[in-house]
Amino acid sequence: MTLRIEIEDLAKHFGEIKAVDGVTFSVSKGEVLGFLGPNGAGKSTTMKMITGFLTPTRGTVRVCGYDVLTDPISVKASIGYLPEGAPAYADMTPEGFLKFIADVRGLRGAEKKRAVASAAEKARITHVMFQPIETLSKGYKRRVGLAQAILHNPPVLIMDEPTDGLDPNQKYEVRTLINEMAEDKAIIISTHILEEVHAMCNRNVLIANGKIEFDGTPHELEALSRYHNAVCVSVGGVETDALSRFVESLDDVAGTEPLNFNNGIRIFPKGGKQITLELSERIRSNGWQIESLYVENGRLDEVFRTLTTRPGDAA
C-alpha cells in the first residue's frame, strides 16, 4: 500500500470553536475515502488544511511524503482540489479557464494542449468548451470544476461535495468518472449523501464535532446498524402474533417487530448474527409456508444519526 495522505492529530480552532479537534487518518493509493459528517462537523476545514488553504492550529499533514507546512508547493502540485461549489471565473469559457489553470500548473505547449483535451474529455465537457461558464447548467459548472481538479493528473484528489446539487443523471456521471479514476489515485470525497458511500467509496471516515467517530469500510459502517442482518418474513395463513411468538423462542433471536406494509414481521438476530438459513428451516419445519423473506444489510441513515448525535441533542 502506497500511503499518499498522512494526517496526524490535526486540529483547527477558530477562537472558541474547535472546528477540527485532533484528527488522525491516512489514505493510500486506490482508496476512495468518503468523508462523512453532519453540517459543521469539520469536513471542509479538514480538507482546506490538507490542501494548504488553512494553517492548522496543531498537527501535521503529509501528501505524497511532503509536509504541507514546509513544502506547500510540492503538496499543491500533488493535489487536485474541487472546492465546495466549484468556483470558476464565470465570464471565461471552459477552454479559456482550463488553459489558464494549465498555465498556473506550469504546463506548456503540446503538454498543455494534451492536458486540457484529456481533462475535458474525462469530465465530458468537450461540447461546451466555447460557451461562457456563467451560461452553463449547475451540472456542467461542476464538471468544469472537476476538469480543473484533474487537469495535471494528480496522484491525490480532494473533492468537497462533488455531486451536490446535481440531478440523478449528472450524479451518476460524476460517480462513474470518480470510479474510473480511483485505481491509481488516493481520493477523499466529502459528502452527506449516504447513497454515495456505496456508489463510490471503499472506505469511510465519519466526523462529528471535529472528532472521528468511525473509520472503516462501508460494509463495516452498515454492520453497526440495528437492522444489520435483520430478516423480514411473511408466512401464509399464520397470524403475525403466532409467528412472532414462535421465532422469539429461538436461541439466536433478540426480538421482532411487525412490518407495516405486509402481513409479516422483522426479526432481529442476537449480536447481528446471520440467521436466515436456520430461521427458514425452523419456520418450514413447523409446517408453515414462507411467502416472502429477505435480509436487510443495515441502514446508513440510522448509523449516521446514532454516531453523530449526542445524548440529549434534539432529534
Interface residue with ligand ATP, options 40, 87, 165, 236 (CB under 6 A) = 40
Q: Is 87 in the site for ligand ATP (CB under 6 A)?
A: no
- Alpha helices (H) in the chain, listed in sequence order: 43-50, 72-78, 94-104, 109-122, 138-150, 168-181, 195-200, 218-222, 240-248, 276-285, 300-308
Q: Is 79 in the site for ligand ATP (CB under 6 A)?
A: no
Q: Is 14 in the site for ligand ATP (CB under 6 A)?
A: yes
Complex with ligand ATP: residue 40 or 106, whichever CB lies closer: 40
Q: Is 51 in the site for ligand ATP (CB under 6 A)?
A: no
Closest by CA position to 149, among listed 184, 113, 115, 190: 115
DSSP 17: E
Interface residue with ligand ATP, options 23, 36, 42, 265 (CB under 6 A) = 42
Cell numbers linked to 132 = 461562457
Q: Is 44 in the site for ligand ATP (CB under 6 A)?
A: yes
Strand order in the sheet with 3-14: 17-28, 3-14, 58-63, 66-67
Residues whose CB is less than 8 angstroms from the CB of residue 86 and which lie 6 or more positions away in sequence, other chains included: 141, 142, 144, 145, 146, 148
Q: Considering the complex, what minimum distance in angstroms separates the CB of residue 101 from ligand ATP?
A: 24
User: Which of the stretches 35-43, 85-93, 123-131, 142-150 binds ligand ATP when contact is defined by CB under 6 A?
Assistant: 35-43
Interface residue with ligand ATP, options 43, 112, 152, 228 (CB under 6 A) = 43
Complex with ligand ATP: residue 43 or 203, whichever CB lies closer: 43
Site residues, ligand ATP (CB under 6 A): 14, 17, 19, 37, 39-45, 192
